[in-house]
Amino acid sequence: MQIRAGYEISYDCPQPTPMILTLSVHPSRISDLLTSDRMRLDPPLSANTYHDSFGNFCHVIRAPAGRLTVSADFRVRDSGELDAAGLQAKQHALEDLPVEALLFLLGSRYCETDRLSSIAWSLFGQIPKGWPLVKAICDYVHDRITFGYEHASPTKTAFDAYTERRGVCRDFAHLAIALCRCMNVPARYCTGYLGDIGVPPDPCPMDFSAWFEVYLGDRWYTLDARHNKPRIGRILMARGRDATDVAIVTSFGPCTLAGFKVITNEVTAAASGQ
């Protein structure tokens, strides 16, 4: 299948403001692009593009005083397959994990393993390791947190989400990640596009989505505690320890979000010219 995706995001800056933008499709999906995922800046600006320590595409700019609009519109090929399930996937002993996975066992800014460890072991300590454990954590987070955009907060942590029992997709991901790490399962945060493909349309405006990945059985598996079922058409933008590492915009000075639009739609055969 083909998916059209993109965004148009505007900021008002009272003064020239440096920013790091993490809005490009992840390098692992570059070969699937049917048209260029080119970031457009209005007014035109130079950007220093690099790969961060997690392998994500990032762009450094200096936004001028006034209105800055960042946009992209592209098409990508997708398999149309549901997220893979690892029903028989085994959990590795710590000493057998790949070195690069060990980072994703540690606490991070939004995933406080120290505050959740005793809770995690009391809830999940008797559940068989591997996929049953991860699925139990995903089910628990899905049932515990009530979703609502009005519950969004840039400072809310996994422990906050656990105690408040409400949040947005990033809060579902943070709590699930923290609980997995407490149970010695490497887990990392993902952000990207997830349209209403293969599911009833959501009446809310489209947004970027957050999910997570766990390392079991020698590979990473995708899970989504908010929706808690396999989905079609995820387009990964970035991975990291938590939302800190993959913020779509990190500003180094004051700025105000003035406009936000995201699109993720399946392209029909007629629209694609087939």
pLDDT tens for each residue of 5-61? 999 999 999 999 999 999 999 999 999 999 999 999 999 999 999 999 999 999 999
Q: Is 111 a residue whose pLDDT tops 80?
A: yes
Average pLDDT over residues 110-120: 98
Q: Is 240 a residue whose pLDDT tops 80?
A: yes
43 upstream amide cis, omega within 30 of 0: yes
Alpha carbon dihedral 36, 37, 43, 46, in 10-degree steps, equals: -90
Lowest-pLDDT range, 80-84, 204-208, 257-261? 204-208
Q: Tokens 């969004």 appear where?
A: 152
- In the prediction, which pLDDT does 272 show? 55
- In the prediction, which pLDDT does 78 show? 97
Pick the CATH number of 94-240 from 3.10.620.30, 3.30.43.10, 3.40.50.920, 3.40.50.1220: 3.10.620.30
- In the prediction, which pLDDT does 203 show? 86
Q: Which residues of 100-117 are buried (b: 16+ CB within 10 A; e: fewer)?
A: ebeebbebbebbbbebbb
Q: Is 273 a residue whose pLDDT tops 60?
A: no
- In the prediction, which pLDDT does 202 show? 86
d(CA 59, CA 152): 26
Residue type for position 130: G
Q: How confident is the model at residue 274 (pLDDT cuts 50, 70, 90)?
A: low
- In the prediction, which pLDDT does 204 show? 85
- The bridge status of strand 146-147 relative to strand 166-167 is parallel
Lowest-pLDDT range, 13-27, 67-81, 156-170, 198-212? 198-212
Average pLDDT over residues 105-111: 98
Helix, strand or coil for residue 117? Answer: helix
| Whole-number Cα distances in Å, 211 to 58, 64, 81, 227 | 20, 33, 17, 9
Average pLDDT over residues 124-130: 97
- In the prediction, which pLDDT does 17 show? 97
CATH topology assigned to domain 2-80+248-268:
Immunoglobulin-like (2.60.40)
Write down the domain spans for the chain: 2-80+248-268, 94-240
Average pLDDT over residues 190-217: 94
Q: Is 271 a residue whose pLDDT tops 60?
A: no
Helix, strand or coil for residue 63? Answer: strand
Structural contact between residues 174 and 145, judged by C-beta atoms closer than 8 angstroms? no
The percent of residues in the chain predicted with pLDDT above 90, rounded, is 95
Alpha helices for 52-203 (secondary structure H): 99-102, 113-124, 131-144, 158-164, 169-182
| Residue whose C-alpha is closest to residue 168's, from 235, 224, 116 | 224
Average pLDDT over residues 106-134: 98
Angle of helix 169-182 relative to helix 131-144, nearest 10 degrees, comes to: 140
d(CA 187, CA 139): 16
What is the overall mean pLDDT for the chain? 96
| Whole-number Cα distances in Å, 116 to 34, 51, 127, 177 | 43, 32, 17, 11
| Whole-number Cα distances in Å, 67 to 11, 41, 46, 112 | 6, 11, 16, 36
